[in-house]
Structures are given as C-alpha cells and as structure tokens.
A and B are shown apart, each in its own frame.
Chain A
Amino acid sequence: MAELIVSKFFYNKEAAPLDYYRKHDGYEGMKKALAMKPDEVIAEVKKSNMKGRGGAGFPTGMKWSFIPKESKVPKYLVCNADESEPGTFKDRAIMTYSPHMMIEGMIIGSYAIGAKVSYIYIRGEYVREAEILEVALAEAYKAGLLGKNIMGSGFDHDMYVHRGAGAYICGEETGLLNSLEGKRGEPRVKPPFPAIKGAFGGPTIVNNVETLANVPAIMLKGGEWFAKLGKFPNSGGTRLFCVSGHVNKPGLYEFPCGSVTLRELIYDHCGGIRNGRKLKAVIPGGSSAPVLAAHELDIDLDVEPMAKAGSMLGSCGIIVIDDTWCAVKVIKRITHFYAHESCGQCTPCREGCRWMEDVLHRIEDGHGKESDLDLLLDIADNINGKTLCALGDAAAGPVTSFVRKFKHEFEEHIKGGKCPSA
C-alpha cells in the first residue's frame, strides 16, 4: 500500500496527544513553514496541486492566494469541521486520531495568509471530537505552538473551537461564517467571496479538515513530492474514502488520488458486496453526488474522471447499495434529508426540495402517476444551478440521476400501485 498521510495514525489510541505527534515529525512542517516567507508557503502549496477535500475540489494554493496581502480588517482562517454530508466520516477520524495534524495545518495556513486568529467550526454532534480538540489546543498553547511568538518566529496566533448546532447548511462556507458570527445559518450572496469579505467582514479562508491535515506533509516533504503522489498531473496527494453501505469491509481507506478505480475499491479493498449479493448502485461522493449504476464502476477515483462520468467525487463518501434496496426508497430518504436541511432562503430550494420529497413519497406509497417522472425531472431541472448555494444542486442531482438510471423501478411502483419490495 502506498504511503499514508492523513490516516497514518488512525485507530492508534495513543496518537492524539502532542507528545506522540511530535515524536513522529509533528510540527516539523510548521517549523519549516515559519522559516519561510508567507508567499513561499503559498507557492509550495500551489506546487502540491492539492484540491480541496471538502467537496468542491477547488485548488487550495490558489484559494489561499486570493487573500489580499494588505487588509485594514483582520484576516481569518476557518477550519470547516461541520462534516455533515451523508456518507462522510473522514474528518471525524482525523480529529479523533490526529487533532494536531489539523491544528498544525491551520497554523501554517494562517501564517501563509496572515491570519492572527483561526476558528475550528465543528458540527454540534461531534461532542467528543470537540473535546479532543480543546485538549489539543491547550497542549499546543502550553508548548508554545500557539499564542504569542510561535517557536520564536515572531508570528502570533490564536485558535478557537466553535461548536455549531448541527445544521447541514452550516457546512456551506458562507452559511458557516454566518453561524460563526452568531447569525442565522444561511449562505451569503457571492460575490463578495469569503477571501475578500468573510468572517466578521475580514478576508477569510475556509478549508476542510482533511485539506488542512495534508498541509504539514506538504511543507515537510515539499509540494512536488505531494503532487507526484497523484495519478493525474493536476491533482496531488491522497484521498480518504469513506466507504459505507453493503460492502463486506466498510470503513476509511486512503489512496493516492486517481490510483484506484471505484470497482477496485469496492471489490478488491472492501471485500465486495455483503452476503454475496448483487450491487445495485453506488453514490460516490456523499449523498449529493449523482448515483452511479452497477455497470459504471470503472472510474478512476479522482475529481475530474468522476465529473466526466457525470457524478462527483465530492467528499469521497462512497455509499454502496445492494439489490435488496428499493431505489425509490433510497432517493426518497436522500431527498427528505435535503428538504429538511434546506435553509429556506431561496425559492427553488425551499419549495422545490419539499415538492420532490412529497412526489417521491407518493410514488413510494404506490400513489404515483405516469406524469410524475417528468415532473420530478423538471422540478430538479428548475432547482439545479438556480439556487443561492449548492444545496439546491445537491438535492436535484441525485433525483435526476435516480429517475434516469432506475426509471424501471419508478415505473414498477406506479404501475403496481405499491413498492415491489415492500
């Protein structure tokens, strides 16, 4: 197996404390970064070709370079630990086993963009993880890794853990910033983007936990080394895959970007489908990713190949569904989630998600009509790309893909007047 970066301490119960982390090259990357100029740090991260690990896959170095050099108001770095995309559980493991890896990455990032304060916005349900982070922050302050004049570099930095209240929409970066500021968790109008006007009006970078946890390794071993790990030239490093559902060995798997296909992951690494059953579908990037049918598995697991296949790698939350599950039931449940989590700000998402859910509910209950399928596709089309933030797209994409790829199952429900598997 290739070299592990973020999962190297996973399931090691001794790994979280600072002592252990420092014995294993911990904070060496930061030491190196603090001796460099901030611009050089950004250049190194750019060289690494790392794409954001949160879901959108935006190049991290480029994002950092959007922060204005001079700013009259304070700049901020925010770690998005509001991991709430269904099927995604990688950030939780990083925070549990390697809290310092993420903290180190945050300090490096803050140094690069010139932020004196950073926040970890963690979802409310992650109580234990928040506690682990508080302990880790206390250790870091005590060791002089946070606070005034870090490691004698002259760089001051403070870091805070901020617990959310468990709304999915607060994982959207501007919704997160509103929530962080104590406002209603609703996405903001863009532009201005957070890099220009983010938290408390200051230029702000919002990065995912895994993204930041990769930064120490990039600093320590160089951006070029990191870039070379990926199979494709524009996507460096490794990715954590959260495999859940009907496989024999669900769990977290770290592989270099693009180095394995979805089929290899499911059959070679995860031991195939549970109880020898047949695969029906795979949702490859958290529940908002359009579904893939059983024959669509020969896709390299990286951002671009997945987009080319009509889905998205998203947060790498791979949900495997076997043939005992009804496709209508699955998409009904997914749509319920998005309807429930819609913030209600913009019209298409507020009204459309609930409408799709109601129609799906009707079909699943056997009260569907022939015209409902076109209706669903049209509602999804009217939401997709027309909402204020990406939640609308996240709700519409799965519906469209399920209706298209499992049309026969919908039709069976409508014709038979009930769910065939009920």
Chain B
Amino acid sequence: MPKCIIDGKEFEFSPGEMVIQVADRNGIEIPRFCYHPALAVVAQCRMCAVEVEKMAKIQTACSLPAGEGMIVHTASEKVIKTRASVMEFTLINHPLDCPICDEAGECTLQDYSFAHGAPDSRYEEHRRTFIDLDMGPVIKKNMNRCIHCTRCIRFCDEVGGFREMVALKRGNSTEITTVDGKPLETEYAGNLADICPTGSLTLVDFRFKKRAWYLAKTKSVCEGCSQGCNIDVNSENGVVFRHLPRENMEINKWWICDEGRFSFKYVNAEARVTEPTVRTADKKLDFTDWKTAVAEAKGKATGKVLVLIGSDLTLEEMRAIQAFAKDKLKDASLFHYGTPGHTKASDDKAEDKILRRTSKTSNLHGAEKLGLKGWEGQGKFDSALVFRGGRAMMLTDLRKNVSGALIGVGVFETAAIDSYEVVLPGLSYTEKSGTIVNWMGKEQKLNKAIEPVGQSRGVADVFALWS
C-alpha cells in the first residue's frame, strides 16, 4: 500500500483516498464544514486547508487525493492563518446569536470559532440578512446563520433521492432554500438539522425545548421499524427530548427517518397509562395498586387464554412471556402481532430505497426466531393477555375471538383501553435494556435511558407478583 506523511507520521492509504479520509482514519483532526463522508466533495468551505510540501498553494484536504510520499502539514503557520481567515469570513455575516440559538453547545461553527477563530472581529460593515420561508413541519430555517456549506442541498440530492433544496441567487446574496419555496417532502428531513454545521437548520420539534449540554445520551436502537437504526436517546430527568442517529455503516449509516426520529413521543405522553388500572364495581376503569391489579388479572386470565405478544418487545421479554405462559397458564395459545398485514417475517419489505421498512415494529424477526406465529384473528378464547411495547398496533376490540376478559400488559394509551378489564403498565424501549433483531438478522441492544415513567414495571416484575 502506498504511504503518505501527515504531521510527521507515516500512514498507508488506498489509491483514490483523500487526505481528509486518511487523517480521519488515523485520528488526526482536520476541521471541516462542507465535507461529509456521505456526500459529494465540493471543497467549498475551505476550512480543511492543509499545506503540502512541493505544492505552492494551500490545498483542501477533502479534495486532495493522497499521493505516494506526499508530505502534509495540518497545523503549520500557513494553515493556521488560512483557517483563521476562513473562520473570519464565515463569521462576518453570521449573527453570532449563540445565546438564543438551539445549536449552541453542539455547533460546529461555535466549536471551530473557539478553536480556530479570533476573539474579536474586524468587520464593521452591514451584515446581510434574509427573510426565511417555512420549510414544513420538521425543519426551521434561519438563513442568517447559514454558512453556505450546501450539505443540505447535497443530502436531498444524494441521500434523500430528489432535489428539494437549492441555492438561489449568487455570490454574497446566495440563499439556500427549497425548490420554489415549497415545504420539504422528504421523510428524512430531520437529518438536515443533524448535518447542518450551524443553527441554520434546526428541528421544529426540538426548538427551545432544551439546551444540548443538559442532555444525557444513551446508545440505543430505534424501534420505529425492522431496520433497527442506531440512535442516541437524548434525555434529562426522565424525559426523552429527541433521537439522534448514531453512525452504523451496516445499518443506517448516519441517518434516521423522521418517523423514527419522532417515535419517542408516547414515552412521556400524558395519554400513556402509567398506573395499574382495573375495572371497578361501577364498570369504570380506575387506578389501583400493583398487588390488586395483578391479582385481578390473575383471576380473570382463565380458561383458554389467548396470549398476544407485541413484536415491539425485546427477545428477553418474549422469552419471559413464553416461560410464564408455560408455567402459569394452563391452556395458552401464543402469537405475535405488530403491524397490520405482517404475520410472517417475509411480509416485511423495504418501504423505500433508504432505510424505512414496512414492519412498523422493531422485533418481528426476533419473534419469529423464537418460534412465535403471527396472529391472524383465528380461534375462540375465554380470555386474552395482550403484551405491548409501545409501537405495535393497538388492539382495541378482540370481542370476535375472546368471550371473557382482556388484560393488557405494557404501554397503552388511555383512549384505547375501553375494552380492557385490567391494564398493567409496562416499559417502553427507553426504560429498559434488551435485545432486538432487525430484518437482516442482526441482534442489537437497547439500553435503558430513563427511569420507568409513573408506576410502570417490566414483565419480569409483573410475573413475580403473579405467583
């Protein structure tokens, strides 16, 4: 393999690799705004300037193919001055409104300004300003903060698959906007906020909710579909604020879809049942204590029991339910359920060319691996136990199949439990650890990000009370 020298150290590279890639691979940090490994190289921001021996001009590391014996300096005097000048140019028209900007704390521009910029500005002229158009429900644009890196344009073109964003006008007046000012249509719009190196594109949903530095990040996996995109669950004090995609080149690369990004909403929703609930003597559902509720459930789960297991549960939970049914229920039939029309793993298809899958639960493939069959609405039963993680379809009416009591265990909405006799509140994916299997057969770990909301308990705890 050919070798080049960066900052005095020799590194191997494969032909065609750019200097920035060689540096990234070897932990040498070269600052950049426009370069993103997923997107075409445009060399526009000029921040990744490096000095190369035997080359008169400063080079941009993102667009410079590494060469045999090439000697690169990433921190020479010339490089430091160039970076400082790019920072100065980048900031002269930036509003410097970090105190009211949502990006602050996780802003590339802010970080680089500290690292490479000057403490004050020589700029005394008028700053340019823009009037912003509505970009739809996901992304809020602030063009004044934009540094014209064009990552968003390239993301729509190259990842999103269709051209939705463009640069209008020219030179100093260049405005980044959507085609004809229309709202974004892509189902991956949230990623624009992630790749934007400034606060120019932020999430409408997350704006003004929380400063980035207060958020704890927990490595987890999105439960929005069977793709299993890797995410960081961002939370503080038991409240989930957002999902950020976590790089996994085999599964989701750098991205998640908007559905997955905002799928956490039910976790802290007011409509979630978080107290043990039973039907009282006056036929109304009311809160009670765990002991009473479990005893009630135990008393009603009689005869031929239909056990429905949401394919949004972890492998560990499914196994626990299987063991419980075998030990504690005399005549139980176990099925998985989750997405309408998805009773077998083979029903799960790609929904687009990027990430989205048609199975809207995360562990359909895991359920099948454990030998569970899909529920197709068959058979007559005396009672039913419905386990649900939070994503599986809401089963509101099982009267056709079940003559007796419906008992829910897991995450339910108050509006959807009218037909139930007992609801035992369970854990969402953010409140537990466990394993799920994506459509490729890859096992991935969920990690507990927050404490259970309200009185919610895991299935193991519920079964412990049962006996």
**Residues of A near any B CB (own CB < 8 A):** 167, 169, 184, 189, 191, 339-355, 358-359, 362, 375, 382, 385-388
Contacts and interface: CB of A to CB of B under 8 A. Distances in A.
B41 interface: yes
B41 A189 contact: yes
Interface in B106-143: 122-123, 125-126
B89 A385 contact: no
Chain B interface, >50% SS class? loop
Given A385-B57, A388-B43, A348 B171 contact: no
A350 B125 contact: no
B93 A167 contact: no
A347 B35 CA distance: 13
Contact of B170 (A342, A351, A375, A387): A342
B153 to A, nearest CB: 10
Nearest to B62: A189
B170 A167 contact: yes
Interface string B79-97: 0011001101110110000
A344 B172 contact: yes
B45 interface: yes
Contacts of A362: 125
B49 A350 contact: no
B268 interface: no
12 contacts: A184-B167, A189-B63, A343-B171, A344-B170, A344-B173, A347-B90, A348-B86, A354-B171, A362-B125, A382-B81, A382-B85, A386-B82
A383 B397 CA distance: 70
A344 B85 contact: no
Of the candidates A189, A342, A344, A382, the one having the most CB atoms from chain B within 10 angstroms of its own CB is A344
Contacts of B45: 346-347
Contact of A385 (B58, B150, B172, B173): B58
Nearest to B40: A189
A361 to B, nearest CB: 9
B65 interface: yes
A185 to B, nearest CB: 9
Contacts, number: 94
Contacts of A344: 148, 167, 169-174
Interface in B18-43: 41-43
B44 interface: yes
Contacts of B65: 191
B342 interface: no
B16 to A, nearest CB: 11
The 7 closest A-B pairs by CB, nearest first: A344-B174, A382-B85, A342-B171, A351-B89, A358-B125, A354-B172, A344-B171
B46 interface: yes
A160 B42 CA distance: 29
Contacts of B43: 189, 346, 388
Contact of A387 (B46, B81, B93, B174): B46
B293 interface: no
B147 interface: yes
A169 B171 CA distance: 10
Given A346-B46, A351-B89, 16 more contacts: A189-B42, A189-B63, A191-B63, A191-B65, A342-B170, A344-B173, A345-B42, A347-B86, A348-B85, A350-B89, A358-B125, A382-B88, A385-B56, A386-B57, A386-B85, A388-B43
Contacts of B172: 339, 342, 344, 350-351, 353-354
Nearest to B85: A382
Of the candidates B41, B47, B173, the one having the most CB atoms from chain A within 10 angstroms of its own CB is B173
Nearest to B153: A184
Nearest to A358: B125
B217 to A, nearest CB: 31
Nearest to B126: A358
B148 A359 contact: no
Interface in B158-188: 167, 169-174
Given A189-B41, A191-B65, A388-B43, A348 B89 contact: yes
B171 A347 contact: no
A347 B170 contact: no
B332 to A, nearest CB: 63
B46 A355 contact: no
A87 B190 CA distance: 49
A387 B82 CA distance: 11
A343 B150 CA distance: 13
A382 to B, nearest CB: 4
Of the candidates B49, B126, B148, B172, the one having the most CB atoms from chain A within 10 angstroms of its own CB is B172
A346 B89 CA distance: 10
A375 to B, nearest CB: 6
A220 to B, nearest CB: 39
Nearest to A381: B85
Of the candidates A343, A382, A386, A387, the one having the most CB atoms from chain B within 10 angstroms of its own CB is A386
A347 B44 contact: yes
Contacts of A169: 170
Nearest to B64: A191
A386 B90 CA distance: 14
B432 to A, nearest CB: 47
Nearest to A362: B125
A347 B89 contact: yes
Nearest to B33: A347
A382 B174 CA distance: 21
A382 B81 CA distance: 8
Given A350-B148, A355-B92, A388-B44, A340 B171 contact: yes
A353 B380 CA distance: 79
A362 B58 CA distance: 31
A382 B87 CA distance: 11
B63 A347 contact: no
Contacts of B47: 347
B174 A350 contact: yes
A169 B167 CA distance: 15
A170 to B, nearest CB: 11
Of the candidates B41, B169, B171, B173, the one having the most CB atoms from chain A within 10 angstroms of its own CB is B171
Nearest to A387: B46
A29 B167 CA distance: 46
B32 to A, nearest CB: 12
A358 B125 CA distance: 7
Contacts of A359: 125
A343 B49 contact: no
B13 to A, nearest CB: 16
Contacts of A354: 171-172
A348 B86 CA distance: 6
B237 to A, nearest CB: 40
A348 B167 CA distance: 18
A332 B116 CA distance: 31
A335 to B, nearest CB: 12
B147 A347 contact: yes
A45 to B, nearest CB: 28
Nearest to B65: A191
Contacts of B85: 348, 382, 386
A356 B357 CA distance: 53
A386 B49 contact: yes
B46 A341 contact: no
Contact of B122 (A347, A350, A375): A375
Contacts of B63: 189, 191
Nearest to B57: A385
Interface in B391-431: none
Contacts of A382: 81-82, 85, 88-89
Of the candidates B65, B81, B122, the one having the most CB atoms from chain A within 10 angstroms of its own CB is B122
B81 to A, nearest CB: 8
Of the candidates A346, A347, A353, A354, the one having the most CB atoms from chain B within 10 angstroms of its own CB is A347
B109 to A, nearest CB: 12
A350 B340 CA distance: 53
A191 B63 CA distance: 8
A352 B171 CA distance: 10
